[in-house]
Amino acid sequence: EAGVTQFPSHSVIEKGQTVTLRCDPISGHDNLYWYRRVMGKEIKFLLHFVKESKQDESGMPNNRFLAERTGGTYSTLKVQPAELEDSGVYFCASSLLRGFTGELFFGEGSRLTVL
């Protein structure tokens, strides 16, 4: 069974440009999360979808970040316009909704470098 997949694995853009990250969760996982790790710091929660609805977006840093999960399948995270401090690794994770055990299944991350 395929795990959580993320695309692109690495993106280098200039300040002011736009980047869209994509996450495909494990099939059947209604919970989908976005996390971010800035170099050397903690993995920080951004938001949580249950199916297509935003359950918790308390970690979204500002309105330059827009997450969507149309149809409750894959999700996108758009950063527009990107700033230098947005650089980091963006992780997507998914989990079951019914029968949630606490375990999150992470993707390998999308590394974003803003120059």
16 part of the interface to other proteins, by CB under 8 A: no
Strand, helix or coil at 62? coil
* DSSP H or E run through 14: none
59/81 with CB nearer other proteins:
59
Residue from 109, 110, 112, 114 in contact with other proteins (CB under 8 A): 109
User: How many chain residues are in contact with other proteins, going by CB under 8 A?
Assistant: 29
93 part of the interface to other proteins, by CB under 8 A: yes
- Laid out side by side, the sheet with 5-7 consists of 5-7, 19-24, 75-79, 65-68
1 part of the interface to other proteins, by CB under 8 A: no
Q: Least distance in Å: CB of 107 to other proteins?
A: 6
Q: Least distance in Å: CB of 113 to other proteins?
A: 16
22 part of the interface to other proteins, by CB under 8 A: no
Provide the mask over 44-63, with x wherever binding to other proteins is found by CB under 8 A and - wherever it is not: xx--x-x----xx-xx----
Measured CA to CA, the distance from residue 13 to residue 45 in angstroms comes to 23
Strand, helix or coil at 85? helix
Read off the tokens for 32.
């989908």
- Contact indicator for 82, 18 with CB cutoff of 8 Å: yes
